[in-house]
Amino acid sequence: MGIIAPAVFFAGIQILRNKAQGYRLAFPLLMLNVLVGPAVIAQTIAQILCGVEFSIGQLIGMIGSWIILAGFGIRAIISLYRGLQASA
The pLDDT assigned to 41 comes to 87
User: Taking a C-beta distance cutoff of 8 angstroms, is the pair 30, 38 a contact?
Assistant: no
pTM of the model: 0.74
15 located within any domain: no
Structural domain including 72 reads: 26-87
Q: How many CB atoms lie within 10 A of CB 22?
A: 17
Three-state DSSP at 41 gives helix
Contacts for 20-29 with beta carbons within 8 Å, 24 or more apart?
A: 23/80, 23/84, 26/76, 26/80, 27/77, 27/80, 29/4
pLDDT digits (tens, 9 = 90+) for 41-64: 899 999 999 999 999 998 888 788
| Number of domains composing the chain | 1
Is 7 part of a structural domain of the chain? no
Q: Is residue 21 part of a domain?
A: no
* Position 59 in a domain: yes
Within a domain: 4: no
For residue 66, being part of any structural domain is answered with: yes
